[in-house]
Structure 1
Amino acid sequence: MQRRNFIKNMGLLSAVFGVSAPAVFAGTPKENEDYSFRRVSGRINCEGKGLEKVVVSDGFSVTQTDAKGNYVLEAHYDARFLFYTLPSGYEIPNEKGIARFYMALKKGQKQQQADFSLVKAKQDDTRHAFVVWADTQIKTEEDAQKLLTISAPDAHTHIQKLMDRPVFGIGCGDLVWDNFDLFKDYREAVAMTGIPFWQVIGNHDMDYGARTDDASQESFEAQFGPSYYSFNKGKVHYVVLDDVFFIGAGHRYIGYLTETQLRWLEKDLSYIPQGSTVVVALHIPSNTGDKRRNKRKEEEMGGVLTNRKALYELLKPYKVQIVSGHTHWNEVWEKDNITEHNLGTVCGAWWSGPVCGDGTPNGFGVFEVAGDDISWYYKSTGYEKEHQLRLYKPGADKERPQAVIANIWNHDKRWTVEWFEDGVAKGKMEQYTGYDPSAAELYEGAALPQQRKWIEPILTDHLFQAVPAAGVREVRVKATDRFGHTFEERIQL
């Protein structure tokens, strides 16, 4: 069809320019390959009544249902799913917490029916909340048991405090650590939280036996459906992207969005009014301060989204929050219309200690939505939400032996950090880049940690120092976040 004609035309061009077709193409298409488009039609309803203007996609094309809830779409020959963008005001369809919003497309079937029935939400979702699990990353049964007996119950307890409004979760990639047998444990952990979860693919959720990136999502898709899609809740539009691009060798990948995804996103956003709030979830962060902190000449291609400018350009008309994982540190940055939350992980330092490499406790992000405004905090596993900083006595940091150190892991430029000597205000603490003392004690050196010795502490910007005067008995630190919430810790000297 279209592709066959393209190949035929390329053959003619080859003859004109004196270049043989085999020099352009690595091989010729098999006779039984089918490059025809497929007609998919269906209806989306609630209690038998068709729902109008529900966005439907195959990951390539995007359309909407008509006044009776019907749609017709010419599905791309490479499309693997037909899915819809959940409209606001409806329950998230799920199977024991795993979001189900799609139907698999069959190869070779020229026509297919895909109908969906939605359920009206019991609560107004203009006000809602969501939690983000970054890197549950279970590799062994022991890791899985920690997730199931510590992290998931802790999340369930905290989520119950948010249930005066609709709540959902996002698993922000690296759900497992290359051990796909443990997807069952991840699914069980999700079910324990009591809320539906949407999933993001991470680099450890990919099939590294695939020939190219195109097939590297197969195991993930068998569990969770498409690796990029969108949904709505209240006044907010949510987009999940697959920015882990397998380069076809070993376990190597780069942070990259394909042209197919960017074109789909452009079509998806065409239905969203400019000025709206958009939340983007992806595994590899779009950007971090790692290059600056470590004085690198180049960014690590597997550490950030290499073609982020293309993403930012599409998001320019919106108020944007990005949530990401991958790094095993916590960092919040903002520029122009974008705020990114590169979240600390559920697994901490790969289940080898109670903190990430930057000293952020094992935990997850919590985001509270009111209309099109979003506020947030970091929830540390085993602590109440008020636990937002940790203090260290002088001597904890060998490079600053006289200083009291504060680690404020969810700090951003709109926080203020003040300190007091025996109740007397001393002004703002000095921010610096360094290593968290706990992370250094737990992970520094070839012999630590015992379970996974390759783990090392990570440079971070969310550290603060102050040198108390001689004879001071107590130092108090008061941190105020951008929303006016204050958190205090005291340390006796």
Structure 2
Amino acid sequence: MHKINSILFIIFIGLSSVLYSCKDDPTPDPTDDLKITGVSIPSSIDIVANGTITLTGKGFALNDQIHLTSVSDPSKVYVSNVSSVTDQTATFSLPDGVSSGAYKITVTRGDESLALGSLTINIIVGTAIPDVAGMTIKGIVYCDGKGISGVVVSDGYEVTTTNSNGIYYLASQKKSGYVFISVPGNYEVTTSNNIPQFFKRLTGGNTVEQKDFSLTSADNSNHVVLAMADWHLANRNDDLSQFTSNVLPDVNSTINTYLSGGKKVYVLTLGDMTWDAYWYENSYGLSEYLTQLNKINCPVFNLMGNHDNDPYSAGDWLAETKFKNTIGPSYYSFNLGNIHYVVLDDIEYINTGGAQGVIGSRNYNDIIVSDQLEWLKKDLATITDKNTPVVVAMHIQLYRNPTLDTGGSQTSSISLNNGTQLISALQDFKNVHLLSGHTHINYTVEASGSLVEHNTAAVCATWWWTGKNGYAGNHICTDGSPGGYGVWEMSGTDARWYYKSVGYAKNYQFRSYDLNKVQITAAKYAPNSTDAALANAVGAYANANNNNEVLINVWGYDPKWKVEVEEAGKALTVNRISTMDPLHIISYNAKRINAGVKAEDLTFPTGNTAHMFKATASNSTSTLNIKVTDRFGNVYTETMTRPKDFTWSMK
């Protein structure tokens, strides 16, 4: 890379931020005593530290002072004198201490000053990097013009780190088409379409390519990650209006709350942001998804799901090409503060019969393919401190939805085809959290003292059905969890998390049912159908229950939570059970059957979930005090006045 000694650019004074109107006549505004005209400012420039900048404009004078005021920290003001002028230009040197970022530019002369506008400055390194035999990619990772050592760089196959000068080399076959860095903790990269640009695309071939990466210092040791699974945006079921009217405001409100508290905030998707079956039929694919992505008030790290593959392409490699070209790498890692994050693609998309213009069967294997697994091992090998917290994110779950044994204890089994190999790759680390989606339900599996899987329910709930116009008017998943997302609060190496239900406060963590009021009949919930047609979709809820039982659905539950119920100061026995959520039954099952769908043909029927609890009261009208305590000591309560109505809008 050649050294950049000076940059010539034209500065344009905007309409509202300066003293000029926009007109061809260069006559200065009467209030402008400096008589500076014909000036414009670009959005950004790349420049080496202490490089010179030549402004184009009339009326500048020798020794005019150029003030650069940091937008992010207005207390930081850098001053440089104009060192040379012509009738069309003024030149000054970038002052010491200026770092990459946005600045407001002002020119002063004596007691007079004029605001010129704003400019983003990117401090680059003007270092020529020599070729090395056998190395096909080279570059430098830098911040404010200085190389950063120890940064992990990869092409998805080979992994290396930058040297003491921030320089790296890779002997790459360029198969993936890009090179990426594992952004180090307490740094950030720029974003495009709200996507962090931690990767550079390659032209391919045997030619040596130089790809440099610019970092910005950012203290993210205390940060928040929103884990958003299964958006399924497809321009159907009123999904776009539900997303923009309900989900997006909720997400941005959560983000803004943390931002106002001084936290760094990021979104991490967990796959299935789109729906492959409708890419072409509804003209809604990854490019359209970016429109919604851009409305989120923080950077978004993306992860692909099975439905984010191209249904016109047979075979995993071709099918994921659109994701790579539109979004970025399908697997990678990054660091936020002291936490190492790994994003995996655990889908081998087969799509039998797929061809141009023909949607295939969209079948797939849930597996981490061998090349990616080998990359994962290399990436993890760069972390020498095995006490470093690791967050692994992937779409398809490692463990199945837990069940209960005869004693009421939770049991679980591995679901991912090569899940044991993934566990083996992570076994040296003492603190691993695995985030997954795919199921549209919530559950937690603490497989060992060092690995916990958090399967996160869906942003779209039941594929946007229950909130569709004419349906239940709510937003509920197949396990009864409200549609929502996980929130991860990271402080140093400490992690705390909770599930955030869309449209509710963060302390909404359970729903109670008075089972005396829960009887699901066709007359009430599917008047166009019959009880016989409804029977297989409602189970025991078809019958009246006068046993004074209370059912409690605790969607964020794990075995370190506690559920308590009191009646008149007396503790009731609370049993954990596995059963269906009745609100989902009337919100989806009954509504679809009412529309003519057979119970056996329901696409997304209510399923059993083990985060259910039952207690029996002494009578039908007593008030119960429900207390749920999570693993962090947070307490959630409800004073349950009974009888409690069973309705689509119940809380």
TM-score, length of structure 1 as denominator length:
0.86
- Whichever residue aligns with residue 394 of structure 1, its letter is L
Deviates more, 1:330-339 or 1:448-457: 448-457
Secondary structure of 1:162's partner?
A: helix
Task: Determine the C-alpha separation between the residues in 1 that align with 2:315 and 2:492.
Answer: 42
Shift of 1:109: 4.4
In the alignment, which of 412, 416, 422 is matched to residue 305 of structure 1?
A: 416
Shift of 1:484: 0.2
CA offsets per residue over residues 325-346 of structure 1, 9 Å max, x none?
1001111111211111110110
Q: Which runs of 5+ in 2 are unaligned?
A: 1-133, 353-360, 406-412, 467-474, 520-539, 643-651
Task: Determine the C-alpha separation between the residues in 1 that align with 2:251 and 2:227.
Answer: 10
Partner of 1:6: none
Task: Determine the C-alpha separation between the residues in 2 that align with 1:232 and 1:428.
Answer: 45
Partner of 1:145: 241
Shift of 1:447: 3.3
Asked if residue 90 in structure 1 is aligned to residue 236 in structure 2, the reply is: no
Task: Determine the C-alpha separation between the residues in 1 that align with 2:349 and 2:254.
Answer: 36
Equivalence map 1:152-191=2 (5 Å): 152-163=248-259, 164-178=262-276, 179-180=278-279, 181-191=284-294
- Whichever residue aligns with residue 245 of structure 1, its letter is E
- Whichever residue aligns with residue 315 of structure 1, its letter is L
Secondary structure of 1:329's partner?
A: coil
Shift of 1:313: 0.7
- Whichever residue aligns with residue 264 of structure 1, its letter is W
CA offsets per residue over residues 339-359 of structure 1, 9 Å max, x none?
111101100000012100000
Task: Determine the C-alpha separation between the residues in 2 that align with 1:349 and 1:79.
Answer: 35
Partner of 1:5: none
Asked if residue 430 in structure 1 is aligned to residue 575 in structure 2, the reply is: yes
Asked if residue 234 in structure 1 is aligned to residue 337 in structure 2, the reply is: yes
Instruction: Answer 1 or 2: higher relative contact order, Cα 8 Å, separation at least 6.
Output: 1
Partner of 2:90: none
Task: Determine the C-alpha separation between the residues in 1 that align with 2:197 and 2:311.
Answer: 25
Distance of aligned partners of 1:471 and 1:270 in 2 relative to their CA distance in 1, 3 Å threshold: closer
Asked if residue 404 in structure 1 is aligned to residue 538 in structure 2, the reply is: no
Task: Determine the C-alpha separation between the residues in 1 that align with 2:595 and 2:425.
Answer: 45
Asked if residue 349 in structure 1 is aligned to residue 462 in structure 2, the reply is: yes
Task: Determine the C-alpha separation between the residues in 2 that align with 1:165 and 1:451.
Answer: 49
Partner of 1:9: none
In the alignment, which of 30, 53, 63 is matched to residue 160 of structure 2?
A: 63
In the alignment, which of 395, 406, 416 is matched to residue 283 of structure 1?
A: 395
Secondary structure of 1:130's partner?
A: strand
Kept after mapping to 2: 8 A contact 1:288/1:331: no
Deviates more, 1:99-108 or 1:60-69: 99-108
In the alignment, which of 453, 457, 461 is matched to residue 340 of structure 1?
A: 453
Partner of 1:111: 208
Task: Determine the C-alpha separation between the residues in 2 that align with 1:217 and 1:291.
Answer: 34
Asked if residue 129 in structure 1 is aligned to residue 224 in structure 2, the reply is: yes
Asked if residue 468 in structure 1 is aligned to residue 617 in structure 2, the reply is: yes
Task: Determine the C-alpha separation between the residues in 2 that align with 1:135 and 1:485.
Answer: 27
Number of equivalent positions: 446
- Whichever residue aligns with residue 70 of structure 1, its letter is I
Asked if residue 483 in structure 1 is aligned to residue 632 in structure 2, the reply is: yes
Task: Determine the C-alpha separation between the residues in 2 that align with 1:469 and 1:117.
Answer: 67
- Whichever residue aligns with residue 260 of structure 1, its letter is D
Greater helix fraction, Structure 1 or Structure 2: 1
Distance of aligned partners of 1:350 and 1:167 in 2 relative to their CA distance in 1, 3 Å threshold: same
Shift of 1:449: 7.5
Asked if residue 245 in structure 1 is aligned to residue 348 in structure 2, the reply is: yes
Kept after mapping to 1: 8 A contact 2:141/2:162: yes
Partner of 1:40: 137
Kept after mapping to 2: 8 A contact 1:448/1:455: no
Kept after mapping to 2: 8 A contact 1:331/1:342: yes
- Whichever residue aligns with residue 167 of structure 1, its letter is V
Kept after mapping to 2: 8 A contact 1:421/1:472: no
Task: Determine the C-alpha separation between the residues in 1 that align with 2:215 and 2:591.
Answer: 54
In the alignment, which of 356, 367, 370 is matched to residue 256 of structure 1?
A: 367
Secondary structure of 1:193's partner?
A: coil
Shift of 1:209: 2.8
Kept after mapping to 1: 8 A contact 2:402/2:610: no
Shift of 1:98: 1.4
Shift of 1:184: 4.0
Shift of 1:222: 1.3
Task: Determine the C-alpha separation between the residues in 2 that align with 1:162 and 1:143.
Answer: 27
Shift of 1:427: 4.2
Partner of 1:378: 499
Secondary structure of 2:372's partner?
A: helix
Secondary structure of 2:246's partner?
A: helix
Distance of aligned partners of 1:449 and 1:167 in 2 relative to their CA distance in 1, 3 Å threshold: farther
Asked if residue 317 in structure 1 is aligned to residue 428 in structure 2, the reply is: yes
Aligned-CA RMSD value: 2.1
In the alignment, which of 430, 435, 444 is matched to residue 589 of structure 2?
A: 444
Distance of aligned partners of 1:208 and 1:290 in 2 relative to their CA distance in 1, 3 Å threshold: farther
Task: Determine the C-alpha separation between the residues in 1 that align with 2:640 and 2:253.
Answer: 29
Task: Determine the C-alpha separation between the residues in 1 that align with 2:616 and 2:228.
Answer: 36
Secondary structure of 2:136's partner?
A: strand
Distance of aligned partners of 1:247 and 1:120 in 2 relative to their CA distance in 1, 3 Å threshold: same
Task: Determine the C-alpha separation between the residues in 1 that align with 2:573 and 2:141.
Answer: 56
Shift of 1:68: 1.2
Partner of 1:413: 559
In the alignment, which of 453, 476, 485 is matched to residue 364 of structure 1?
A: 485
Deviates more, 1:87-96 or 1:219-228: 87-96
Distance of aligned partners of 1:404 and 1:108 in 2 relative to their CA distance in 1, 3 Å threshold: same
- Whichever residue aligns with residue 364 of structure 1, its letter is Y
Shift of 1:77: 4.7
In the alignment, which of 330, 337, 361 is matched to residue 442 of structure 2?
A: 330
Shift of 1:182: 3.9
Kept after mapping to 1: 8 A contact 2:286/2:323: no
Partner of 2:105: none
Secondary structure of 2:434's partner?
A: strand
Distance of aligned partners of 1:366 and 1:200 in 2 relative to their CA distance in 1, 3 Å threshold: same
Asked if residue 220 in structure 1 is aligned to residue 323 in structure 2, the reply is: yes
Q: Which runs of 5+ in 1 are unaligned?
A: 1-36, 294-300
Kept after mapping to 2: 8 A contact 1:98/1:224: yes
In the alignment, which of 451, 458, 466 is matched to residue 607 of structure 2?
A: 458
Secondary structure of 2:457's partner?
A: coil
Task: Determine the C-alpha separation between the residues in 2 that align with 1:406 and 1:128.
Answer: 32
Distance of aligned partners of 1:449 and 1:390 in 2 relative to their CA distance in 1, 3 Å threshold: farther
Distance of aligned partners of 1:92 and 1:149 in 2 relative to their CA distance in 1, 3 Å threshold: farther
Shift of 1:203: 0.6
CA offsets per residue over residues 400-435 of structure 1, 9 Å max, x none?
65211110001000000000114x131451110000
State the identity %. 33
CA offsets per residue over residues 61-84 of structure 1, 9 Å max, x none?
000111111111011252321000
